[in-house]
Structure 1
């Protein structure tokens, strides 16, 4: 079997966190939705059926949760920290795609969410 690309996905992770520029956001917080797409060579795990031959999405979630708990002014900063942390904690990850959105941001608009999307390569 020829595998062109393989990814680990974590979709629609929900966090209550304190990211934002306004004082209200840093006191009250908001709900943030995060999607991750991690490029990882999964061929060995496909053969062995061993979690040690892949990247555990439970461990990734733990690392992301710890980064989300650190307040930042900008979502760009949060994404940068998350990508850096994933590359440090999980050497098998070759590329990280992150979409991070803040629900109902305090900007006077009728909007479901606003956010950023980044792609980081090791």
Structure 2
């Protein structure tokens, strides 16, 4: 087995429960970690034998573009879509961070982390 990580995927998105958040948007950061078998690709040196991180990035960016009230909801959509589109993935850990959240304090980020295994 092996791990592929994408760190700090940055997006500008419109998530949140407040009406203002749907209009002004915020900066977000996503960290993604997947487990897959890397033995074949390590021997073949061929992209078709691994999980393409370009596809992983695209899935994250596309799902972050769909408005959700909760960070948990968008993270769950990312997980569902990766499992649906990439059979070689056995485990996913995704963290979604809202940077400078409007919570009435000096907070750098609010982050949720979800972990799922393929059934």
Pairwise TM-score range, normalised by the shorter structure: over 0.9
Q: Which runs of 4+ in 1 moved over 6 A?
A: none
Alignment partner, residue 52 of structure 2: 56
The alignment partner of 2:101 has SS state of coil
- What do the CA deviations read for 1:2-33 (whole angstroms, capped 9, x no partner)? xxx41111001100000000011111100110
State the secondary structure of the residue aligned to 1:10. strand
Q: Does residue 31 of the first structure (1) align with residue 27 of the second (2)? A: yes
- Measured in 2, the distance between the counterparts of 1:95 and 1:109 equals 35
What is the RMSD computed on CA atoms of the aligned residues?
0.7
TM-score by length of 1: 0.95
Aligned residues: 118
Q: 1:120 deviation in Å? A: 0.7
Instruction: State yes or no: 1:65 paired with 2:61.
Output: yes
Partner of 2:85: 89
Unmatched tracts of structure 2, length 5 or more: none
Note if 1:111 corresponds to 2:107: yes
Deviation at 1:64, TM superposition (A): 1.3
**TM-score of the superposition, structure 2-length normalised?**
0.97
